[in-house]
């Protein structure tokens, strides 16, 4: 009888373990991305594809496919999500065109039994998971840094990202929170640079003639070098421009540092957050209990770390961190 009880107990434990850690080798994951028109998004897609291809090769999942909409349009991305549901994907990773406009499509996915993990630009639908840095704090820290470098304050130009995207709203909110905290600064102009150097350069060039002297430029990434080019073309003195970890920005920063001692700060979310989203989704599909909201640190580059980061960042790309399965487990454990 004792032997029978022991065998039954062992079998029960094995079944419990199997239920908690189901095999994901047959699962299919899709990435829905709303925009690919800058170096950050290109690096994000590349990191996802490298992680996903290796995971498929290793038999961790059956498929992991990336899809990007042709325009940053919520209607197109909602249709893309609905197609993914029809195609039978088990999980959708979502970099969203809007925090709210896609909630209906996300709810459809959840109701169909499809896991949704939003990252970077997240959604507010309660059934979805969210992975992001504290973008509000990132924006606030930009102004805090300016207060340390320029204690007397002055006029600021704000370059925003893609209109309507949660990331843009959050960073801008943080910047304005920082201005309230350090009232010696005043935002005297704001333009949308779409996180792209060429768009930012054109937008800044258009607003500069109407602006007084600007001591600092607060940004969102992918816009700092474009802003510098616009100031140079207008024959105006280069202000203190906060950068966003793009290779062209860091190369310009290093040139200016060597030429005249230029010093600034660069910070952004690492494009590798897509690889973290992949592994978080895999863990949820594997039966792991994961909090709905996960926060990761933003990647900050200072004068002391500039050369190291520039040397390791390919031309045309972005300073990056690729996350592993172990990294994902650590983030999940930390959130618990």
The tens digit of pLDDT for each residue in 71-109 reads: 789 999 999 999 999 999 999 999 999 999 999 999 999
Q: Do 140 and 192 sit in the same domain of this protein?
A: yes
What is the domain extent for residue 118?
A: 25-133+270-298+320-335
State which H helix or E strand residue 182 sits in: none
Asked if 154 and 146 touch (Cβ cutoff 8 Å), the reply is: no
Asked if 97 and 165 touch (Cβ cutoff 8 Å), the reply is: yes
Burial (CB < 10 A; 0-12, 13-18, 19+), residue 201, is: buried
Q: Is residue 151 part of a domain?
A: yes
Answer yes or no: is pLDDT of 249 > 50. Answer: yes
Q: Do 202 and 224 sit in the same domain of this protein?
A: yes
Q: Do 56 and 84 sit in the same domain of this protein?
A: yes
If one compares 70 and 277, the residue with the highest pLDDT of the two is 277
- Between CA 318 and CA 25 the distance in angstroms is 32
The tens digit of pLDDT for each residue in 154-165 reads: 999 999 999 999
pTM above 0.75, yes or no: yes
**Rounded mean pLDDT of 191-201?**
96
The tens digit of pLDDT for each residue in 110-164 reads: 999 999 999 999 999 999 999 999 999 999 999 999 999 999 999 999 999 999 9
**Rounded mean pLDDT of 175-180?**
98
CA 142 to chain centre: 17
Answer yes or no: is pLDDT of 246 > 70. Answer: yes
Q: Do 92 and 164 sit in the same domain of this protein?
A: no
The confidence score (pLDDT) of residue 13 equals 34
- DSSP structural state of residue 253: H
Q: Is residue 175 part of a domain?
A: yes
Answer yes or no: is pLDDT of 313 > 90. Answer: yes
Answer yes or no: is pLDDT of 288 > 60. Answer: yes
Could you tell me which of 132, 80, 68 has the C-alpha nearest to residue 105? 80
Q: Is residue 78 part of a domain?
A: yes
The confidence score (pLDDT) of residue 70 equals 83
Q: How many domains does the chain have?
A: 2
The confidence score (pLDDT) of residue 241 equals 98
Q: Do 75 and 99 sit in the same domain of this protein?
A: yes
Of 268, 286, 307, which residue sits at a domain end? Answer: 268
The confidence score (pLDDT) of residue 22 equals 52
What's the mean per-residue pLDDT of the chain? 93
Q: Do 276 and 183 sit in the same domain of this protein?
A: no
Of 246, 268, 290, which residue sits at a domain end? Answer: 268
Answer yes or no: is pLDDT of 284 > 50. Answer: yes
Q: Is residue 314 part of a domain?
A: no
Task: For CA atoms 305, 311, 313, 318, give the dihedral sign.
Answer: positive
Residue 216's SS3 state is strand
Q: Do 253 and 146 sit in the same domain of this protein?
A: yes
Answer yes or no: is pLDDT of 4 > 80. Answer: no
Q: Do 128 and 174 sit in the same domain of this protein?
A: no
- Between CA 335 and CA 272 the distance in angstroms is 19
The CATH number linked to 190 is 3.40.50.2300
Q: Is residue 29 part of a domain?
A: yes
Answer yes or no: is pLDDT of 258 > 70. Answer: yes
Of 251, 268, 285, which residue sits at a domain end? Answer: 268
The confidence score (pLDDT) of residue 159 equals 98
Q: Is residue 121 part of a domain?
A: yes
Query: Judging by DSSP bridges, how do beta strands 240-241 and 293-295 pair with one another?
Result: unpaired
Q: Do 58 and 166 sit in the same domain of this protein?
A: no
Q: Is residue 102 part of a domain?
A: yes
Q: Is residue 80 part of a domain?
A: yes
């Amino acid at each position: 009888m004792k032997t029978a009880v022991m065998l039954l107990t062992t079998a029960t434990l094995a079944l419990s373990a199997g239920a908690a850690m189901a095999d994901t080798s047959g699962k299919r994951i899709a990435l829905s991305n709303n925009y690919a028109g800058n170096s950050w998004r290109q690096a994000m897609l590349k990191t996802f594809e490298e992680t996903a291809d290796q995971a498929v090769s290793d038999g961790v999942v059956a498929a992991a496919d990336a899809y990007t909409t042709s325009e940053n349009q919520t209607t197109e991305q909602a249709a893309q999500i609905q197609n993914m549901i029809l195609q039978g994907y088990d999980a959708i990773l979502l970099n969203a065109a809007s925090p709210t406009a896609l909630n209906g499509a996300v709810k459809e996915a959840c109701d169909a039994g499809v896991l949704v993990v939003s990252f970077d630009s997240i959604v507010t639908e309660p059934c979805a998971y969210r992975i992001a840095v504290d973008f509000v704090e990132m924006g606030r820290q930009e102004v805090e840094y300016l207060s340390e470098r320029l204690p007397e304050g002055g006029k600021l130009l704000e370059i925003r990202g893609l209109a309507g995207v949660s990331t843009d709203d959050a960073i801008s909110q943080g910047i304005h929170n920082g201005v309230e905290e350090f009232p010696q600064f005043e935002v005297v102009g704001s333009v949308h640079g779409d996180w792209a150097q060429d768009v930012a350069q054109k937008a800044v060039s258009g607003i500069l003639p109407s602006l007084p002297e600007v001591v600092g430029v607060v940004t969102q990434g992918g816009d700092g070098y474009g802003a510098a080019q616009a100031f140079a073309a207008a024959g105006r003195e280069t202000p203190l421009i906060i950068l966003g970890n793009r290779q062209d920005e860091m190369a310009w920063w290093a040139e200016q540092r060597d030429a005249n001692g230029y010093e600034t700060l660069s910070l952004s979310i690492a494009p590798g957050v897509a690889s973290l989203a992949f592994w978080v989704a895999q863990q949820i599909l594997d039966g792991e209990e994961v909090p709905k909201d996960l926060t990761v640190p933003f990647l900050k580059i200072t004068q002391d770390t500039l050369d190291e980061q520039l040397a390791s960042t390919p031309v045309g790309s972005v300073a990056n961190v690729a996350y592993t399965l172990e990294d994902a487990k650590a983030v999940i454990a930390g959130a618990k």
